[in-house]
Amino acid sequence: MKFPVTQFGQCIIATATLLLCLLSFVGQSTAQDFDLPIEAHKIPFDFSSPAQSATYTPSKASGKGFSVCVLVPHMKDEYWISVHSGFQEKAKQLQLNFDWHEAGGYLNLDRQVEQIRTCVSKGHDAIVIGAVSAKAPKLLKAVSKASQQVPVIALVNDLASPDLTAKIAVSWERMGQMLGEKIVSDLPKGPDRQFTVRMVSGPSSSGWAPILERGLREGLKSDRITVIKNFEADSDYHNQFQQVEAAVAECGPNDILVGSAPAAEAAMSLINLIPCASKPKIYATYYSHAVKRGLRSGKIAASVVDFPVLQGWLAADQATKLLTGSLKNKQVGPTIQITTPKTLPADKWAIVSEAFR
């Protein structure tokens, strides 16, 4: 039996159809929503080779039925929480299953090595690893052995392994160099005025801190600048706070403090409490909510942004491409930017949303 469709009914059907179209459009735009430049290097995995703009098309295939094991150094600051939020968002969209594990800190090499073995024994289809060390022989051996059974993808941190299938990262050396050049360009005019720099960074064994420091020292090359000391610690707030405390307590020439996001956050609290005539200008080597607040208030002069949310998003997408046979660019990453109080990036790809914190 057929019922006549009234004008009201036609309106309801039309409205429902429009809503379905809009929802479909939103889904498509989310999948294709690339409002940040992506780059790759001419020689994949070799950041000394020229960087070049890359056209990146998100995966058209679903990751359903696949499982990825993701290993990261820790979840003790906003950086890796941001990476996680990006990965989780894209994995959900692609229906890609994943397990997420943290080593507990950059000094926990043995734990990450054991986690690699566990990833393989549990039958995951791929491993994505934010390595605690770039060159530790034990870690490289574990990666090499795992790669004989499942593909291994490096995420964010450098990992000097010939057994990687893909990498999602930016050049930490270039990040440091860009920040150093920004610091030099910010120096007040006057050739007779000299400036000192103290650095607070992560462990020298990590796959980012020594590389960033190398680039930073290159960018800071100037007859007007002397780098006095680098204070190292695991990159959680507590340890970085202690190192900043030691750095600013030395009431000698103390013009510029360059630190990780937790270090910059600590410095904002500490520098006005120290009984020193010289209060250092603060620069951050990467971005966070605290750094954003510091930039807005003028307490932090500038920061580098490498868009960790987008790096996590790309990792889930690249893993899916790899597992479904559509991977083309073996190494991709966001284009690094310098941000100042006047040029803050949109939060979308740069910083974890409040819901994840």
**Mapping DSSP to helix (H, G, I), strand (E, B) and coil, where does residue 139 land?**
helix
Question: Does pLDDT of 52 surpass 60?
Answer: yes
**Mapping DSSP to helix (H, G, I), strand (E, B) and coil, where does residue 40 land?**
strand
- Nearest Cα residue to 34 out of 63, 51, 58, 53: 58
**Mapping DSSP to helix (H, G, I), strand (E, B) and coil, where does residue 335 land?**
coil
**Confidence (pLDDT) at 88:** 96
Most confident of 42-46, 277-281, 284-288: 284-288
Complete DSSP assignment for 301-320: EEEEE--HHHHHHHHHHHHH
**Mapping DSSP to helix (H, G, I), strand (E, B) and coil, where does residue 338 land?**
strand
Q: Looking at the DSSP assignment, which residues form a beta bridge with residue 146?
A: none
Question: Taking all residues of the chain, what is their mean pLDDT, rounded to a whole number?
Answer: 86
Distance CA 65, CA 270 (A): 50
Summarize pLDDT for 99-152 with one digit per residue, the tens: 999 999 999 999 999 999 999 999 999 999 999 999 999 999 999 999 999 999
Work out the average pLDDT over 254-271: 89
Quickly state the pLDDT bin for 273 (edges 50, 70, 90). confident
Quickly state the pLDDT bin for 53 (edges 50, 70, 90). confident
- Nearest Cα residue to 313 out of 30, 51, 119: 30
Query: In degrees rounded to 5, what are phi and psi of residue 194?
Result: -105, 150
Q: Looking at the DSSP assignment, which residues form a beta bridge with residue 197?
A: 227, 256
Summarize pLDDT for 178-224 with one digit per residue, the tens: 999 999 999 988 767 889 899 998 888 888 989 999 999 999 999 88
Work out the average pLDDT over 312-319: 97
Distance CA 7, CA 24 (A): 26
Work out the average pLDDT over 335-344: 95
pTM of the model: 0.86
Question: Does pLDDT of 3 surpass 60?
Answer: no
